[in-house]
Amino acid sequence: MIDLHVHTWRCRHATGTVAEYVAAASARGIGTIAITDHLPLSPELIARDPSVAAYAMPEAELGAYVAEVTAARDEAAAAGGPEVLLGVEADLYPGNEAFAGSVLKRCAFDVVIGSVHFVDGWAFDDPDRRAGYASWDVRELWERYFDDLIAASASGLADVVGHADLVKKFGCVPEGDLAPLYEAAAAAFAEAAVAVEVNTAGLRKPCAELYPSAPFLGALRRAGVPVTIGSDAHAPAEVGSAYGEARAALIEAGYSSAVVFRSRRAEEVPL
């Protein structure tokens, strides 16, 4: 079992220390866990809306974060525990590439998840900001989100695309055929040589399905995009959550292996 997406207390909206996550992974038989807290947000974004500071670790704590994960990795290795990877989840909305790139360069990450949580500065996945959906045509929102996600994948900053259809989180899904959006994204991800995670957090949200959906996963498989698996845990109790469902969805889509990243290099693991 692998879990390549978990968050700690350091991002201010999750609970649990790195050591508690590693202990939870060990108890659940997870062989490889990547700690992937939210990369600090840009001072420019925080200046525009100070409340977004609660979405990521403060920039001043990046060094302490890396030290905490590295210590837990060494401790687990010495104790025969799970493999611990140093990861991060970066916000790669348009305009943030230079800032994110400069922060990413400072640390020797194993894996970088690239995600889009903001459209025009609106945190569309925050339950407290759901009112924002009222000012969008749902199809236009989806098209814009997918455009931004494709740009994020093409930035060269990320190894893995995070929760690729996050825009469905609260059940706002356009009517009509979504296949062209999925096909275009899958082709772009293949071109960018990024992997996509099967993220089980969607099962715990109003949309009540994996990110990405089965039709999207099928498109990714046909395009030859590699996959990994993450719980997006925001508490140690969620580590490895719904791993069986993620694995079953991958097999159903035709995958026989996933990838993990060590020093930013993909390595295949059988499902």
Contacts to Zn ion by CB under 5 A: 7, 115, 162
Q: Are 233 and 241 in contact, with CB atoms under 8 Å apart?
A: yes
The nearest distance, CB 87 to Zn ion, in angstroms, is: 12
- In this complex, which beta carbon is closest to Zn ion, that of residue 115 or of residue 228? 115
- In this complex, which beta carbon is closest to Zn ion, that of residue 110 or of residue 197? 197
- In this complex, which beta carbon is closest to Zn ion, that of residue 7 or of residue 168? 7
Q: Quick one: CA dihedral 114, 235, 251, 260, positive or negative?
A: positive
- In this complex, which beta carbon is closest to Zn ion, that of residue 118 or of residue 142? 118
In 78-225, at which residue ranges do the beta strands (DSSP E only) sit?
83-91, 111-115, 118-119, 122-123, 160-161, 195-199
The nearest distance, CB 80 to Zn ion, in angstroms, is: 30
Q: What is the DSSP letter of 211?
A: B
Cα–Cα distance for residue pair 36/23, rounded to 1 Å: 16
Kindly report the backbone phi and psi dihedral angles of residue 198, in degrees, each rounded to the nearest multiple of 5, phi listed first.
Answer: -90, 115
- In this complex, which beta carbon is closest to Zn ion, that of residue 162 or of residue 226? 162
First to last CA, the chain: 8
The nearest distance, CB 116 to Zn ion, in angstroms, is: 9
Q: What is the DSSP letter of 266?
A: E
The nearest distance, CB 14 to Zn ion, in angstroms, is: 6
The nearest distance, CB 170 to Zn ion, in angstroms, is: 15
Residue with the CB atom nearest Zn ion in the bound state: 115
Cα–Cα distance for residue pair 177/260, rounded to 1 Å: 32
Contact residues for 21 (Cβ-Cβ < 8 A; gap 6+): 6, 8, 33, 35, 233, 236, 239
Cα–Cα distance for residue pair 94/131, rounded to 1 Å: 23
Cα–Cα distance for residue pair 156/194, rounded to 1 Å: 9
The nearest distance, CB 37 to Zn ion, in angstroms, is: 8
- In this complex, which beta carbon is closest to Zn ion, that of residue 7 or of residue 10? 7
- In this complex, which beta carbon is closest to Zn ion, that of residue 162 or of residue 236? 162
The nearest distance, CB 197 to Zn ion, in angstroms, is: 10
